[in-house]
Structure 1
Amino acid sequence: MKVVALVLAAGQGARFGADKRRALMADGRGLLQHSVERALAAFDEVRVVLRAGEDTDALGLPAACRIVPSPDAGMGMGHSLAAGAASLRDCDAQAVAIVLGDMPWILPHTYRRLVEAADPAAIVVPRYQGQNGHPVLFGRDCWPALAELSGDEGARSVLQRHRDRVLVLDVDDSGVSRDVDTPAALG
């Protein structure tokens, strides 16, 4: 089954104190670049949601990913997610993985397991040691609901409305629940 990844990277990162997307990882790559390259290795297509007018070269993004501008990104994650979901109208994938740009430690085998569990009618949520994580995969049937999101809540409301479609996948990967909010989190 074809699965597209939508990497959300249009946030301000205010708690980080600088543009965390450019923060260097131990291997010398930027945080966002690292997250996007991991996604490119696992998904059929990768689209990256950025604030409108951003310099993608400065972020070190691979040419293989498609950039989706989110003009209302400053109004919250829901707006960025809606912009990304709206961009999927020309996509023939059967599911979308909502990947957060500040979660670079998700392991390749976790991405593979999530893709294997994808279904056009399901929402697949990874869980590590009892804690739900990311990326969450939304089957194509849920895409219209994603395109209607707004505010700063993300896709939580879609998950709540479609509880009967949720498939929880237990994983042995702490990367699904580990993000970067402060410089100390990079260590």
Structure 2
Amino acid sequence: MRQQTGIIILAAGTSARMGKPKQLLRYQGCSLIRRITQAAINGQLHPVLVVLGAWHELIAPEIKDFEVSTVVNDEWQKGMGGSIKSGLKVLMDEWPEVTQVILAVADQPYVTTELFGTMILQRQLSGKGMIACTYSGVAGTPVLFDRKYFPALLNLAGEEGAKKILHQHAADVALVPFEAGAIDIDTDADYDQLISNSTNQGFKIDNDNS
């Protein structure tokens, strides 16, 4: 059976520790939300769903020129579980042919098209139902889920994230090393550090269309 891989980009949070939408912070000439959206498009993932919540009126215009779908999670305050469900419900209703989905977040600046390709290849080679990236000794986003786990994702509540399912079915998980995944942007200090390291071309993304 041919696999069709969709992606849900989780970008609904309020960026409480920054007081402004971190999804719009610029790195290497491009906002974080455009970077990850472009990486998904370049990787030929379909559909590309972006889940918005807080700041949605500011963030949506940033990706309006991309061929993506946006979903607004009106209950974004209740946590990531609700955002996952919001995106997945739309994906299952409108693209029932999708056989696997990648969950990604907008504040990991070093996620690339190549990383998505490696995850999909690992899925094919390992036969595992979940492919998680690993960094700093933990498994985390981006993470790929086979369709058989969609019901479990829909049952997430509140602050529960997908890690709960990884732990429950650890024998069905394969890992992809991604040490740069440990770098995410939660505070002004995180962003300042990212900019100070911007000369590191090893993690430069292919954003030709940005």
User: Which TM-score band applies after superposition, normalised by the shorter structure?
Assistant: 0.7 to 0.9
Please state how far the C-alpha of 1:117 moved relative to its aligned partner: 2.4
CA offset at residue 32 of structure 1? 1.1
Deviation at 1:67, TM superposition (A): 0.6
- Return the alpha-carbon distance in structure 2 between the equivalents of residues 118 and 69 of structure 1: 30
Partner Cα distance (1:20, 1:53) in 2: 10
SS of the residue aligned with 2:90? helix
How far residue 129 of structure 1 moved from its aligned partner, in angstroms, is 6.0
Q: Is the 8 A contact 1:95 1:118 kept in 2?
A: no
In 1, Cα distance between equivalents of 2:79 and 2:135: 26
Alignment of 1:24-103 (within 5 A): 24-27=26-29, 29-42=30-43, 43-51=45-53, 54-55=56-57, 56-89=59-92, 90-91=94-95, 92-103=97-108
> Among the aligned pairs, what percent are the same residue?
26
- The 1:60/1:51 distance shift into structure 2, 3 A limit, reads same
Counterparts of 1:82 and 1:52, CA distance in 2? 16
Question: Aligned Cα RMSD in Å?
Answer: 2.2
User: Do 1:95 and 1:139's aligned partners in 2 also have CA atoms closer than 8 Å?
Assistant: yes
Q: Among residues 105, 109, 113, which one is paired with 1:104 in the alignment?
A: 109
CA 1:60–1:107 in 2, change beyond 3 Å: closer, same or farther?
closer
Consecutive unaligned residues in structure 2, runs of 5 or more: 196-210
Listed as ranges, the matches of 1:1-187 within 5 Å are 1-27=3-29, 29-42=30-43, 43-51=45-53, 54-55=56-57, 56-89=59-92, 90-91=94-95, 92-118=97-123, 122-128=129-135, 130-169=137-176, 171=177, 173-186=178-191, 187=195
Q: Which runs of 5+ in 1 are unaligned?
A: none
Partner of 2:200: none
Q: Tell me the SS of whatever aligns to 2:77.
A: helix
Per-residue CA distance 1:10-64 (angstroms, 9 max, x = gap): 011111221111112231x211111211121112321000118933543344431
**Greater displacement, 94-103 / 117-126:** 117-126
Question: Given residue 83 of structure 1, which amino acid in structure 2 is its aligned partner?
Answer: S
Task: For 1:99 and 1:61, locate their aligned partners in 2 and report how far apart those are by CA, in whole Å.
Answer: 19
The answer as to whether partners of 2:7 and 2:101 remain within 8 angstroms in 1 is yes
* Residues 119-128 or 63-72, more deviating: 119-128
Q: Secondary structure at the match of 2:17?
A: helix
Q: Report the count of equivalent residues.
A: 184
Conserved? CA contact 2:14–2:55, under 8 Å: no
Instruction: Answer whether contact 1:35 1:104 (CA < 8 A) is retained.
Output: yes
Q: Hey, what's the Cα distance between the residues in 2 that align with 1:76 and 1:153?
A: 7
Distance 1:135 1:101 in 2: 10
Instruction: Give the structure-1-normalised TM-score.
Output: 0.87
